[in-house]
Structure formats: structure tokens, C-alpha cells
Amino acid sequence: MPKLPQTTAKEAIKVFEKVGFVHEHTSGSHYIMRRSSDKGKVVVPLHGTRPLGKGLLLSLLNDAGLTKEQFLKLLKS
């Protein structure tokens, strides 16, 4: 099983946009994204240039309905 790389919020947001999520609003330091096709919602904390924690990233992938493999492929494309 592939390891997840250090990923910033900005990189994760780009991947979520590739699968149909759009920026709904920003609440404090959280970037809220929605996907209208299935009412999915992802809340990405904006930590500047610091990478997201592994557990947080896995939780975001779960919320977005993505596997690690799908995320890695989209991150590289």
C-alpha cells in the first residue's frame, strides 16, 4: 500500500477541485468545499505552508470518497 506524501492544504484543495469540489466559503481558517453531485462536503484547515497531518488527510480523503491510490494519482497529475 503506498504511503501518503507530506501534503499541504493548498495541494489537497487542488486535488479535491479535480474531483468536482468547489469552494463554498471560508470560515476562520477553514476552507469549506462542496460537491453538488452528491452533497459531499470537505473542510480543509488552512495551515499555511505546514503539511496536513496524516490522520487529518486520511479523514479528508474519506469525506471526499477518495482512496489513497486515487489521491496519489490526482496529486501527480
The DSSP secondary-structure symbol of 39 reads: T
pLDDT computed for residue 37 by the predictor = 82
Domain 9-76 has CATH 3.30.920.30: yes
pLDDT computed for residue 39 by the predictor = 83
> What share of the chain in percent tops pLDDT 70?
99
Check whether 1 has a pLDDT greater than 80.
no
Average pLDDT of the chain is 94
pLDDT tens digits for range 17-45: 999 999 999 999 999 999 988 888 999 99
| C-alpha atoms less than 13 angstroms from C-alpha of 61 in its C-beta half-sphere | 19
> How far apart are the C-alpha atoms of 13 and 44, rounded to whole Å?
7
Kindly give, in sequence order, each residue whose CB lies less than 8 Å from that of residue 9, ignoring residues fewer than 6 positions away. Answer: 31, 44, 45, 46, 47, 52
pLDDT computed for residue 47 by the predictor = 80
